[in-house]
Amino acid sequence: MKTALIIGAGPAGLMAAEPLLAAGARVIVAEAKPSPARKFLMAGKSGLNLTKDEPFDRFLAAFGEKSPVLEPVLRAFGPGDVMRWAEALGQPLFTGSSGRVFPKAMKASPLLRAWLTRLGEAGLDLRTRWRWTDWENGDFHFETPDGPRALAPDVAILATGGASWARLGSDGSFRPLLEARGIRVAPFEPANMGFRVNWSPHMARHFGAPVKGCHILAGSQRVRAEFVISEKGIEGGGIYAVSRALREGAELVLDLLPDHDVAEITRRLARASRKDSLSNRLRKALRMDPVKIALVQECARPVPSGEELAKRLKALPIPLAGPRPLDEAISVAGGVSFAGLDAGLMLKDAPGVFCAGEMLDWEAPTGGYLLTACLATGLWAGKSAANWLK
Find the mean pLDDT for residues 369-376. Answer: 97
List all residues 6 or more positions away from 36 whose beta carbon is below 8 Å from its beta carbon.
9, 10, 14, 29, 112, 116, 126, 128
* pLDDT value at 44 more than 80: no
Render pLDDT for 211-261 as a digit per residue (tens, 0 to 9): 999 999 999 999 999 999 999 999 999 999 999 999 999 999 999 999 999
Higher per-residue confidence, 138 vs 318 = 318
| Per-residue pLDDT at 45 exceeds 90 | no
Considering only CA atoms, which of 333, 351, 331, 332 is closest in space to residue 342? 351
Q: How far apart are CA 241 and CA 210, in angstroms?
A: 16
Output the pLDDT for position 241: 92
- In this structure, of 43-47, 190-194, 364-368, the range with the lowest mean pLDDT score is 43-47
DSSP three-state, residue 312: helix
Which CATH superfamily hosts domain 3-190+328-389? FAD/NAD(P)-binding domain (3.50.50.60)
Q: Which residues have C-beta within 8 Å of that of residue 147, sequence separation ≥ 6?
A: none
How far is it, in rounded angstroms, from Cα 352 to Cα 90?
A: 34
Output the CA–CA distances (angstroms, integers) from residue 342 to 137, 250, 338, in the order listed.
Answer: 21, 34, 8
**Res 46 pLDDT > 80:** no
> What residues contact 112, with CB distance under 8 A and at least 6 apart?
36, 37, 40, 41
SS3 for 260? coil
Mean pLDDT across the chain: 95
Neighbouring CB atoms inside 10 A of 306's CB total 10
The segment(s) of the chain belonging to CATH 3.50.50.60 are 3-190+328-389
Of 303 and 26, the structure prediction assigns the larger pLDDT to 26
DSSP symbol at 315 = S
Q: Classify residue 283 by burial, with Cβ atoms within 10 Å: 0-12, 13-18, 19+.
A: middle
Residue 172 gets the label, from left (phi > 0), alpha (psi -120 to 50) or beta, of left
Question: What are the E-state strand segments in 145-235?
Answer: 147-151, 155-158, 185-191, 195-196, 210-211, 215-218, 221-224, 227-229, 233-235
Number of other CB atoms surrounding residue 363 within 10 Å: 26
Looking at this protein, which amino acid is placed at residue 365? P
- Predicted pLDDT at 305: 86
What pLDDT is stored for residue 317 in this prediction?
A: 97
Quote the strand ranges of 64-209, DSSP E. Answer: 93-95, 100-103, 125-128, 131-136, 139-144, 147-151, 155-158, 185-191, 195-196
Burial-class residue 265 by CB neighbours within 10 Å (0-12, 13-18, 19+): buried
Residue range 125-153: mean pLDDT, rounded:
96
pLDDT band at residue 273 using 50, 70 and 90 as cut-offs = confident
pLDDT of 165 reads: 84
At 164-203, the pLDDT tens digits run 888 888 899 999 999 999 999 999 999 999 999 999 999 9
